[in-house]
């Protein structure tokens, strides 16, 4: 809540700053006290809040699904098992339609990505001040609870997908085959350098678009929640309109977070399928 | 918006979570789903087979019932015709017996009448001879008038 001594700009900046732990230029390891310090820490700093939340939510997924899987019965399933199985079957079916090759890793990966990203996105629906405020009371100054609004988290996932694209491409086509695929399309072979540049851009666009799409959607969503919260410090009319807007945006956001999780998951499968595709013609 | 080492940790977390899901969660869960799907598929197939069998059995039962009814009808018809023919036979036998008895009676009566007629005839002949003797007061030679007397008796 924007209190008397905090301006709107400071309030927004506070909400968009991560809890950063890193090495100061003077050589001491510590949490950054302000965004400037965080920037000075450079590449080797870590965003403790978004990484911890993403780990925690991933563990929530693993434990929930793990318990269900451990108790899974092939007889009449309980309510909870049914729900989990519906998610698993939905994603698995789509993954199986898109990815027609033999690899047992793809479907579980798609389900993991879908549920994990969904849970991380879901944190966006928690009112933006609750947990940061609680953290402030506990002495932690910065706390961003939606990991997918941190470009490091989304791009980190996208980079792993990129690594898998490269790995499966080389595994299935060989280094030569992969380079040939990059060089001999879409123009004839004598234009190989041009082809290579074009295809390399296409290849690099995949992880970039994957990570930045998720980040952009969620970051924008969170920013709007923060802006709506600014209304609460105004008069009664502004507060009431803020309540209505908060509700409306949250309702709309339910769609966005599910859709973005789904897109991230399915695009991952599509990229894997393309990496496996050894077809001569496109 | 700083790019920092978090990006690498996120990649590692991504790998660990997807691997854990693949290794720990996937096999039992998918196994349970597949087993259940198989069970349900088997159940549906069994139900279909049972329905087919039932239909077949009903058809068979219908056929058996129909055959039995036909057979019963045949037996009934046969019995009926046999009974009527037996009645006919009995009737005709009775009629024949009656005819026979009547004919025998008639013959007996005729025989009796003839016998009585013969007796009467001879009596009449004797009476006529006696009467004539009385009238003529002489013996009529029986042998001589035998012919005439016989003629007379035959006329009676």
CB environment A117-132: b (16+ within 10 A), e (fewer)? bbbbbbbbbeebbebb
| B41 CA: distance to closest CA in chain A (Å) | 13
- For residue B140, pLDDT over 80 is answered with no
B154 touches A at CB < 8 Å: no
CA distance A158 to A133: 31
Q: Do A152 and B25 touch (CB under 8 A)?
A: no
Percent of chain A with pLDDT over 90: 56
| Tens-place pLDDT, residues B11-60 | 999 999 999 999 999 999 999 999 999 999 999 999 999 999 999 999 99
Token couple for B147: 């012919």
Decide if A156 and B32 are in contact by the 8 Å CB cutoff: no
Residue B95 has pLDDT above 90, yes or no: yes
Provide the pLDDT for residue B138: 62
Instruction: Give me the sign of the Cα torsion angle A153, A158, A163, A168.
Output: positive
- Whether the pLDDT of residue A60 is over 50: the answer is yes
pLDDT of residue A282: 46
A213 is catalytic: yes
Percentage of chain A surpassing pLDDT 70?
97
Condensed to tens digits (0 to 9), the pLDDT of residues A185-195 reads: 788 888 888 98
Using 50, 70 and 90 to split pLDDT, how confident is the model at A2?
very low
Residue closest to A250 by CA, chosen among A225, A227, A231, A232: A225
Residues B127-132: what's their mean pLDDT?
82
Residue A152 annotated among the catalytic residues of the structure? no
Indicate which of B6, B27, B30, B41 best probes the interface with A, i.e. most A CBs within 10 Å of its own CB. B6
Interface contact A62-B26, CB threshold 8 A: no
For B20, which residue in chain A has the nearest alpha carbon? A62
Work out whether the CA dihedral A218, A125, A113, A16 comes out positive or negative. positive
CB contact under 8 A, B13 and A58: yes
The rounded radius of gyration (Å) of the Cα atoms in chain A is 22
Residues 6+ apart with CB under 8 A from A193: A183
Please tell me which residue in A121, A183, A217, A273 is annotated as part of the active site. Answer: A217
User: Which of A46, A92, A107 has its CB closest to that of B9?
Assistant: A46
The pLDDT value given to residue B1? 62
pLDDT at A1: 44
Cβ B7–A159 below 8 Å, yes or no? yes
Indicate if the pLDDT at residue B137 is higher than 80: no
User: Does A3 score more than 60 pLDDT?
Assistant: no
For residue A107, give the chain B residue with the closest CA.
B22
Q: How far is A43 from chain B (nearest CA, A)?
A: 4
What's the pLDDT tens digit per position in A149-189?
Answer: 999 999 999 999 999 999 999 998 899 888 888 888 788 88
- CB pair distance less than 8 Å for B22 and A20: no
pLDDT grade, residue A223 (50/70/90)?
very high
Greater confidence (A146 vs B143) lies with A146
- The three state secondary structure string of chain A is CCCCCCCHHHHHHHHCCCCEEEECCCCCEEECCCHHHHHHCHHHCEEHHHHHHHHHHHHHHHHHHHHHHHHCCCCCCCHHHHHHHHHHHHHHHHHHHHCCCCCCCHHHHHHHHHHHHHHHHHHHHCCCCHHHHHHHHCCCCCCCCCHHHCHHHHHHHHHHHHHHHHHHHHHHHHHHHHHHHHHCCCCCHHHHHHHHHHHHHHHHHHHHHHHHHHHHHHHHHHHHHHHHHHHCCCCHHHHHHHHHHHHHHHHHHHHHHHHHHHHHHHHHHHHHHHHHCCCCCC
* Minimal C-alpha gap between A113 and chain B (Å): 7
Using the Cβ of B3 and the Cβ atoms of chain A, whether some distance falls under 8 Å is answered with: yes
Q: Look up the pTM and report it.
A: 0.76
Whether A68 and B6 lie within 8 Å, measured CB to CB: no
Put simply, whether B13 touches A (Cβ < 8 Å) is yes
- Tell whether B33 lies on the interface with A, counting CB pairs under 8 A: yes
Q: State the complex-level ipTM.
A: 0.88
Greatest mean pLDDT among A10-14, A92-96, B117-121 lies in A92-96
Dump pLDDT digits (tens) for B101-128.
999 999 999 999 999 988 988 888 888 8
Task: Judge: B4–A159 Cβ closer than 8 Å, yes or no.
Answer: no
Examine the residue annotation and report whether A8 is marked as an active-site residue of this protein: no
């Amino acid at each position: 809540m924007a209190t008397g001594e905090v301006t709107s700009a400071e309030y927004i900046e506070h909400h968009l700053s991560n809890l950063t732990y890193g090495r100061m230029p003077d050589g001491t390891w510590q949490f950054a006290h302000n965004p400037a310090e965080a920037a000075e820490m450079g590449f080797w700093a870590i965003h403790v809040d978004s990484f911890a939340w993403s780990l925690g939510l991933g563990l929530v997924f693993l434990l929930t699904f793990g318990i269900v899987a451990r108790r899974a019965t092939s007889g009449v399933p309980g309510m909870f098992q049914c729900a989990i199985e519906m998610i698993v079957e939905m994603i698995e079916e789509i993954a199986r339609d898109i990815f027609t090759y033999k690899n047992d890793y793809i479907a579980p990966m798609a389900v993991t990505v879908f549920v994990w990203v969904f849970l991380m996105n879901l944190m966006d629906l928690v009112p933006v001040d609750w947990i940061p405020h609680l953290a402030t009371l506990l002495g932690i100054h910065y706390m961003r609870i939606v990991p997918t609004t941190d470009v490091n988290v989304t791009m980190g996932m996208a980079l792993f997908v990129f690594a898998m694209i490269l790995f499966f491409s080389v595994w299935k086509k060989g280094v030569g085959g992969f380079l040939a695929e990059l060089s001999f399309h879409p123009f004839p072979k004598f234009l190989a350098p041009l082809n290579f540049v074009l295809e390399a851009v296409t290849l690099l666009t995949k992880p970039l678009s994957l990570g930045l799409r998720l980040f952009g959607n969620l970051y924008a969503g969170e920013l709007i929640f923060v802006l709506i919260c600014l209304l609460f410090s105004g008069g009664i009319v502004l507060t009431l309109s803020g309540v209505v807007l908060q509700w409306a945006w949250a309702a709309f956001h339910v769609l966005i977070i599910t859709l973005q999780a789904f897109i991230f998951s399915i695009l991952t499968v599509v990229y894997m399928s393309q990496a496996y595709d050894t077809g001569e013609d496109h | 918006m700083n790019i920092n080492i978090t990006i690498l940790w996120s990649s590692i977390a991504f790998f660990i979570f997807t691997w854990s899901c693949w290794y720990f969660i996937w096999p039992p869960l998918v196994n349970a789903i597949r087993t259940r799907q198989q069970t349900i598929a088997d159940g549906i197939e069994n139900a279909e087979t049972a329905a087919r069998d039932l239909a077949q059995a009903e058809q068979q039962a219908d056929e058996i019932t129909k055959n039995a009814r036909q057979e019963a009808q045949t037996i009934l018809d046969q019995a009926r015709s046999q009974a009527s023919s037996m009645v006919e036979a009995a009737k005709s036998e009775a009629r024949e017996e009656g005819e026979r008895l009547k004919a025998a009676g008639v013959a007996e009566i005729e025989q009796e009448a003839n016998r009585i007629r013969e007796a009467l005839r001879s009596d009449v002949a004797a009476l006529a001879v006696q009467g004539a003797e009385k009238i003529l007061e002489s013996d009529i030679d029986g042998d001589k008038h035998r012919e005439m007397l016989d003629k007379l008796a035959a006329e009676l």
